Chain A
């Protein structure tokens, strides 16, 4: 395999920049953000260079590695810090550094009034470094370092304004939910070592088929648990909505475009496990389908623009996870949707940020309305993202989502039909709730109260990234599917056997028509409901269904009842147990000795004659005993 010496710099530059920004402190407040942006841009340049270098090589020679040092070596457990850049990871590297750099630029303006802007950029750089490590590690343990690294960065960024207690709580919640996923990843790595004696991707891939079915299923399910935690999939989804507490650029970069898609990367990367573990693969599809509907339903009821987008992210990742469950043909489409989603969702989040910027940080869409004419550029870029996400041809989302629905419907057995139909329903709901967001924000009556200063358009530094991402929302889908370029590009990694669908139950054209019909239905419903006057406080006389959806389908209530409350009472019980029973026993022994001492002390009266009497009695008793014994 080829080696390259540049991979380290991809990670090292943003990492060093982050360290510099944190260590030098307030001294570099004035230009700290420039250092951060430059570091991210440098990584992007390296990524582009590496991409073209890779493209110019022969298909079999494309992957490159770089061994950094021997990390852990105990007995058979040997893990080197080695980086691997192949066709799959380069997609991510370009997305992370590319979108990352755009969001750095956006943040310069967006965070310009924050006294801690430098710290913000330090965290962003830390995130970029960790995320790059995640996708560049050549073994599951290296991936794990990045995996938790992005969790840390996400924690720091969600809690960036942690002076608000609920923001700090949201950060903690995200980290703990992620940790539950990490539990799965840890167990998966242990299972791999116990079964294969190695934890590198290539090593596991070589031995995967020879392992027992049950072990492979267990590994697959544990990896899925990890993916659920990181990618906010059912049942670990509840943190993502709260994670919107972070500044909006963070939501765009971490909680839309990159980090939350790490679960998709993990499953696609572990294709060699899932392809031989059908049970696990079926679970992947089920989880994906549940989440795509869950997110979509929640998205229909949210009035907070960021939370509506977060629900949408959850749903779209559901699509990706569903696609990864469809087997070798699905991985490439999952990655394609991931990339297009990265563009249009990041673009929409930045648009939402721009709206908030113009509306004094208001996030409630019921307080928006008719903003389109005040912020034309935001309107257009957001609108392009909107067209992409609901899947209107020829925008990016159409190509990628259509491919997933098509692959699902053509999947063998009744599962294909079920999951395909669910994906179609999801597409209709997506169209509905995204149209709702669009209509409530940019159309209709103006519902904001402070008429004195009307919404203003974003400054150039914020507008430029939005434009670039909007361009991406337009053309990436077309680029990726032209001549099946992305599928062919990824094939050596995710589908080395070159499998195709054997049967085509439905033709591609009919599926496209069905998908477009679903979208039209969704849009039409939204138009009927939200083109008229929208009340500026959420109405109470709504169906039970809506109430459930507003409460995120009771996910927090469920978690509280099943995990948090029993957990808290367990903590209390054990605290009391520790004090009363365990320490109580220790104290009891102490108290008994003290009491014994107190009792015996009474004999020491201080009167000589009582001592004398005791002595006499003692001697008498002694003599009496001797007499008894000798009797």
Chain B
């Protein structure tokens, strides 16, 4: 199997994730799309690790996972708080800057 296909998959996942972040309004879905982008990046790291034959990419992948976990903790907390005060999980409703 051509190892480049992993990279194509990674790019595809990243694009799906980013489109989701830009288009979706529900904060939970946006959040999940961000996770998707992180995992796409992870896949790319691991692939490059395999291509280069060293472990650096794998190490970074673990690091990313830790960051993603932290992010989930903080992000979900924020989403829950916003939902409590505004009765909505839509990211657009949280806009206070717009006039």
Is A in direct contact with B (CB under 8 Å) within the complex? yes
**Chain B 61-99 near chain A by CB (<8 Å), digits 1 or 0:** 000000000000000000000000000000110111110
Kindly list chain A residues whose C-beta atoms are within 8 Å of the C-beta of B95: 605-607
Set A605, A609, A612, A613: member contacting B97, Cβ < 8 A:
A605
Kindly list chain A residues whose C-beta atoms are within 8 Å of the C-beta of B23: 609
Whole-angstrom CA separation of A486 from B30 in the bound complex: 114
Are B98 and A609 in contact, CB atoms less than 8 angstroms apart?
no
Are B18 and A608 in contact, CB atoms less than 8 angstroms apart?
no
Residue B22 at the A interface, CB < 8 A?
yes
**Chain B positions 1-57 with a Cβ under 8 Å from a chain A Cβ:** 18, 21-25, 30
Kindly list chain B residues whose C-beta atoms are within 8 Å of the C-beta of A607: 91-92, 95, 98
Are B98 and A605 in contact, CB atoms less than 8 angstroms apart?
yes
**Chain A positions 179-199 with a Cβ under 8 Å from a chain B Cβ:** none
Residue A616 at the B interface, CB < 8 A?
yes
Are A606 and B96 in contact, CB atoms less than 8 angstroms apart?
yes
**Chain A positions 591-627 with a Cβ under 8 Å from a chain B Cβ:** 604-609, 612-613, 616
Whole-angstrom CA separation of A609 from B94 in the bound complex: 12
Kindly list chain A residues whose C-beta atoms are within 8 Å of the C-beta of B94: 608
For the complex formed, measure the closest distance between the CB of B52 and the CB atoms of chain A, giving whole angstroms.
Answer: 20
For the complex formed, measure the closest distance between the CB of B93 and the CB atoms of chain A, giving whole angstroms.
Answer: 10
Whole-angstrom CA separation of A606 from B93 in the bound complex: 9
* Secondary structure dominating the interface of A: helix
Are B30 and A608 in contact, CB atoms less than 8 angstroms apart?
yes
Closest chain B residue to A604, Cβ basis = B97
Closest chain B residue to A605, Cβ basis = B98
**Chain A positions 348-399 with a Cβ under 8 Å from a chain B Cβ:** none
Are A609 and B18 in contact, CB atoms less than 8 angstroms apart?
no
Kindly list chain A residues whose C-beta atoms are within 8 Å of the C-beta of B30: 608-609
Count of A residues near B, CB < 8 Å?
9
Are B22 and A616 in contact, CB atoms less than 8 angstroms apart?
yes
For the complex formed, measure the closest distance between the CB of B7 and the CB atoms of chain A, giving whole angstroms.
Answer: 15
Kindly list chain B residues whose C-beta atoms are within 8 Å of the C-beta of A612: 18, 21-22
Whole-angstrom CA separation of A606 from B18 in the bound complex: 18
Kindly list chain B residues whose C-beta atoms are within 8 Å of the C-beta of A604: 97
Given A616-B18, A616-B22, residue A608 in contact with residue B91 (CB < 8 A):
yes
Are B98 and A613 in contact, CB atoms less than 8 angstroms apart?
no
Closest chain B residue to A613, Cβ basis = B22
For the complex formed, measure the closest distance between the CB of A613 and the CB atoms of chain B, giving whole angstroms.
Answer: 5
For the complex formed, measure the closest distance between the CB of A245 and the CB atoms of chain B, giving whole angstroms.
Answer: 66
Give the interface size bracket for B toward A: 10 to 19
Whole-angstrom CA separation of A606 from B92 in the bound complex: 8
Whole-angstrom CA separation of A616 from B22 in the bound complex: 9
Are A606 and B97 in contact, CB atoms less than 8 angstroms apart?
yes
For the complex formed, measure the closest distance between the CB of B10 and the CB atoms of chain A, giving whole angstroms.
Answer: 15
Whole-angstrom CA separation of A608 from B27 in the bound complex: 10
Are A609 and B22 in contact, CB atoms less than 8 angstroms apart?
yes
Kindly list chain A residues whose C-beta atoms are within 8 Å of the C-beta of B24: 609
Are A609 and B96 in contact, CB atoms less than 8 angstroms apart?
no
Whole-angstrom CA separation of A527 from B6 in the bound complex: 132
Whole-angstrom CA separation of A616 from B21 in the bound complex: 11
For the complex formed, measure the closest distance between the CB of A52 and the CB atoms of chain B, giving whole angstroms.
Answer: 95
Closest chain A residue to B92, Cβ basis = A607
Whole-angstrom CA separation of A613 from B30 in the bound complex: 13
Kindly list chain B residues whose C-beta atoms are within 8 Å of the C-beta of A609: 21-25, 30, 91
Whole-angstrom CA separation of A612 from B91 in the bound complex: 12
For the complex formed, measure the closest distance between the CB of A324 and the CB atoms of chain B, giving whole angstroms.
Answer: 83
For the complex formed, measure the closest distance between the CB of A194 and the CB atoms of chain B, giving whole angstroms.
Answer: 70
Kindly list chain A residues whose C-beta atoms are within 8 Å of the C-beta of B91: 607-609
For the complex formed, measure the closest distance between the CB of B91 and the CB atoms of chain A, giving whole angstroms.
Answer: 5
For the complex formed, measure the closest distance between the CB of A597 and the CB atoms of chain B, giving whole angstroms.
Answer: 14
Whole-angstrom CA separation of A251 from B24 in the bound complex: 96
Kindly list chain A residues whose C-beta atoms are within 8 Å of the C-beta of B96: 606
Whole-angstrom CA separation of A613 from B21 in the bound complex: 9
Whole-angstrom CA separation of A609 from B20 in the bound complex: 9
Closest chain A residue to B24, Cβ basis = A609
For the complex formed, measure the closest distance between the CB of A369 and the CB atoms of chain B, giving whole angstroms.
Answer: 87
Kindly list chain B residues whose C-beta atoms are within 8 Å of the C-beta of A616: 18, 22
For the complex formed, measure the closest distance between the CB of A600 and the CB atoms of chain B, giving whole angstroms.
Answer: 13
Are B21 and A606 in contact, CB atoms less than 8 angstroms apart?
no
For the complex formed, measure the closest distance between the CB of A100 and the CB atoms of chain B, giving whole angstroms.
Answer: 80
For the complex formed, measure the closest distance between the CB of A126 and the CB atoms of chain B, giving whole angstroms.
Answer: 69
For the complex formed, measure the closest distance between the CB of B59 and the CB atoms of chain A, giving whole angstroms.
Answer: 24
Whole-angstrom CA separation of A604 from B94 in the bound complex: 14
Kindly list chain A residues whose C-beta atoms are within 8 Å of the C-beta of B21: 609, 612
Are B98 and A606 in contact, CB atoms less than 8 angstroms apart?
yes
For the complex formed, measure the closest distance between the CB of A57 and the CB atoms of chain B, giving whole angstroms.
Answer: 96
Closest chain A residue to B27, Cβ basis = A608
For the complex formed, measure the closest distance between the CB of B74 and the CB atoms of chain A, giving whole angstroms.
Answer: 15
Whole-angstrom CA separation of A609 from B33 in the bound complex: 12
Which residue, A604, A605, A608, has most C-beta atoms of chain B within 10 A?
A608
Kindly list chain B residues whose C-beta atoms are within 8 Å of the C-beta of A605: 95, 97-98
For the complex formed, measure the closest distance between the CB of A494 and the CB atoms of chain B, giving whole angstroms.
Answer: 88
Whole-angstrom CA separation of A301 from B45 in the bound complex: 112
Whole-angstrom CA separation of A581 from B86 in the bound complex: 53
For the complex formed, measure the closest distance between the CB of B57 and the CB atoms of chain A, giving whole angstroms.
Answer: 20
Closest chain A residue to B19, Cβ basis = A616
Which 6 A-B residue pairs are closest in the complex by CB-CB distance? A606-B95, A606-B97, A606-B98, A609-B22, A613-B22, A612-B21
Q: A606-B96, A612-B18 are in contact. List 11 more A-B contacts (CB 8 A).
A: A604-B97, A605-B95, A605-B97, A606-B95, A607-B92, A607-B98, A609-B21, A609-B24, A609-B25, A609-B30, A616-B18
A–B pairs, 7, beta carbons within 8 Å? A606-B97, A606-B98, A607-B91, A609-B21, A609-B23, A609-B25, A616-B18
